[in-house]
Chain A
């Protein structure tokens, strides 16, 4: 049975003589990698080259280029579009912070099970149904134009403020549902443990459930963050001078659309890294779960 018993030596299939073989070489093998890389590079050049040749050789291309990709117009529009884009970024961060907090309040109210909380739970359910079911654009118009027109005493009167409020109210209904899914995903055993330690319902949520739930929902929240980054441009419809609005103003006076392409470029510059970050966080989260499961 045991390999340290000489009487049982027999054919030594599993006997270990000398050191084990070294770990396999992890060095990058240029020759093995060169062929696929070369094929990849060549095919990319061929496909994209063919596409750009087809596009640029089209009869209408010079007109398209003049209308959308006019370098002079782009340079002329850039400062004001960039200034507008700075507004987008500020609104994005402010609105995002408000959404994350407000949605957390909604999710907490919805998940507390105490009976005297029933009316508040119901309010949250109605709230979420309402604000998730109505287009954001409609809310922005309603709040951004409607409320300032009332001239309510003691309240801010700017379209920017009320448009942002509309964004917060709408997005928070989605984010609250994301939080809630994270709360529900925490294993029931955690609640049992907390309860049997004497923690109150609120303490259970605060110390045991929420920290785990928030970590669970980071990947899902990242997608919302990226979506919000672009949707802030909706505020341009109520006259907020963001990147889109500034680009439109330029377009209106020159009949050239290159300024909108500049704005598009700026949005991409911001959203693409965010999307990559979201991918990275999702992947890391998946690996963490697999590790725990294994």
Chain B
């Protein structure tokens, strides 16, 4: 049996007295795409952020490629190098050009020489159709373009895992497609991804596995066709029903 790329084992997390994750377990195998769906406040984003320790979980274990995320073996920056994250609101640095944004971590954290980092940066940007915007500032770009840069930034260190936190939620509907196309491309290349999303159509098409979170627990976890086609839990059915009614499936 291969080592899972991400192994979340009975993870619990409190924000103050509020229980946000209650003994959650989830496995993401290499080259797998797992989508987390659920209402706002169900703990999806928190779970995602526990993987790269943006949020520290309270109980349980999270392993990346078989090593606990808080293990000293990762050093100070090893975990961040191997698990890239992309946020809903892009979070690009507004005072830096696109190229400076994506080469910041390689140069300052991983000690890559400027020329080398920029060469790779331009290569990644070109791949995402952003080659002409290397010296633009984020505010000069559309939301979709900014999000493509943010994905490029997360990929600069050649991570094993990509964590995507509602990356299309802030985009105009007509810009969603260009970002999802990139994610499809990454899936075809075999990138392991954990994706929090409200795009049910995308989850159905791209995910190997979909997990439905409700009230801090994974209520149901299945292949997309089964979870969307014949959900077992009433709560899941109700959630999907509401999504259908709002026209997002």
Q: Is the CB of A197 within 8 A of B89?
A: no
Q: Is the CB of B104 within 8 A of A207?
A: yes
Q: Is the CB of A196 within 8 A of B95?
A: no
Q: With A192-B54, A198-B80, A198-B81 in contact, do A203 and B109 touch (Cβ < 8 Å)? A: yes
Q: With A193-B87, A195-B54, A207-B108 in contact, do A200 and B76 touch (Cβ < 8 Å)? A: yes
A290 to B89, CA, bound (A): 18
Q: Does A215 contact B (CB under 8 A)?
A: yes
Q: Does A189 contact B (CB under 8 A)?
A: yes
Q: Does B235 contact A (CB under 8 A)?
A: no
**Within 8 Å CB of A194, what residues of B?**
93
Q: Is the CB of A190 within 8 A of B91?
A: yes
Q: Does A156 contact B (CB under 8 A)?
A: no
**Within 8 Å CB of A199, what residues of B?**
104-105, 108-109
Q: Is the CB of A292 within 8 A of B139?
A: yes
Q: Is the CB of A189 within 8 A of B91?
A: yes
Q: Is the CB of A198 within 8 A of B110?
A: yes
Q: With A197-B80, A198-B76 in contact, do A212 and B52 touch (Cβ < 8 Å)? A: no
A292 to B84, CA, bound (A): 27
**Residue among B80, B85, B92, B93 with most chain A CB within 10 A:** B93
Give the distance to chain B from A165, nearest Cβ to Cβ, in Å: 34
Select from chain A the residue with minimum beta-carbon distance to B107: A207
A215 to B96, CA, bound (A): 13
Q: Does A208 contact B (CB under 8 A)?
A: yes
**Within 8 Å CB of B81, what residues of A?**
198
Map CB proximity to B onto A178-221 as digits: 1 under 8 Å, 0 otherwise. Answer: 00000000010110111111111001000110011001000000
**Within 8 Å CB of B139, what residues of A?**
291-292
Q: Is the CB of B85 within 8 A of A196?
A: yes
**Residue among A190, A194, A196, A291 with most chain B CB within 10 A:** A196
Give the distance to chain B from A189, nearest Cβ to Cβ, in Å: 4
Map CB proximity to A onto B145-188 as digits: 1 under 8 Å, 0 otherwise. Answer: 00000000100010000000000000000000000000000000
A207 to B80, CA, bound (A): 17
A200 to B93, CA, bound (A): 16
**Within 8 Å CB of A207, what residues of B?**
93, 104, 108
Q: Does B41 contact A (CB under 8 A)?
A: no
Task: Pick the residue among B52, B80, B84, B93 that contacts A208 (CB under 8 A).
Answer: B93
Q: Does B230 contact A (CB under 8 A)?
A: no
**Within 8 Å CB of A192, what residues of B?**
54, 87, 91
Q: Does B94 contact A (CB under 8 A)?
A: yes
A172 to B80, CA, bound (A): 37
Select from chain A the residue with minimum beta-carbon distance to B163: A196
A207 to B110, CA, bound (A): 15
Select from chain A the residue with minimum beta-carbon distance to B75: A198
Q: Does B246 contact A (CB under 8 A)?
A: no
Residues A279-294 near B (CB distance < 8 A): 291-292
Task: Pick the residue among A187, A195, A211 that contacts B95 (CB under 8 A).
Answer: A211
Task: Pick the residue among A196, A200, A212 that contacts B94 (CB under 8 A).
Answer: A212
**Within 8 Å CB of A291, what residues of B?**
139
Q: Does B77 contact A (CB under 8 A)?
A: yes
Give the distance to chain A from B174, nearest Cβ to Cβ, in Å: 17
Residues B49-88 near A (CB distance < 8 A): 52, 54, 76-77, 80-81, 84-85, 87
**Within 8 Å CB of A197, what residues of B?**
80, 104-105, 109, 153
**Within 8 Å CB of A212, what residues of B?**
93-95
Give the distance to chain A from B96, nearest Cβ to Cβ, in Å: 8
A200 to B108, CA, bound (A): 10
**Within 8 Å CB of A200, what residues of B?**
76, 109
Q: Is the CB of B109 within 8 A of A198?
A: yes
Give the distance to chain B from A267, nearest Cβ to Cβ, in Å: 36
**Within 8 Å CB of A196, what residues of B?**
52, 54, 80, 84-85
A179 to B221, CA, bound (A): 48
A248 to B191, CA, bound (A): 78
A203 to B157, CA, bound (A): 17
**Within 8 Å CB of B105, what residues of A?**
197-199
Given A193-B87, A193-B93, 9 new contacts (CB under 8 A): A187-B91, A189-B89, A190-B93, A193-B92, A197-B80, A198-B77, A200-B109, A208-B93, A291-B139
| Shortest Cβ-Cβ A-B pairs, 7 listed | A198-B77, A198-B80, A193-B91, A197-B105, A189-B91, A198-B109, A211-B95
* Contact sample, A vs B, 22 pairs, CB 8 Å cutoff: A189-B87, A192-B91, A193-B87, A193-B91, A195-B54, A196-B84, A197-B80, A197-B105, A197-B109, A198-B81, A198-B105, A198-B109, A198-B157, A199-B105, A199-B108, A203-B108, A207-B93, A208-B93, A211-B95, A212-B93, A291-B139, A292-B139
Q: Which residues of B contact A (CB under 8 A)?
A: 52, 54, 76-77, 80-81, 84-85, 87, 89, 91-95, 104-105, 108-110, 139, 153, 157
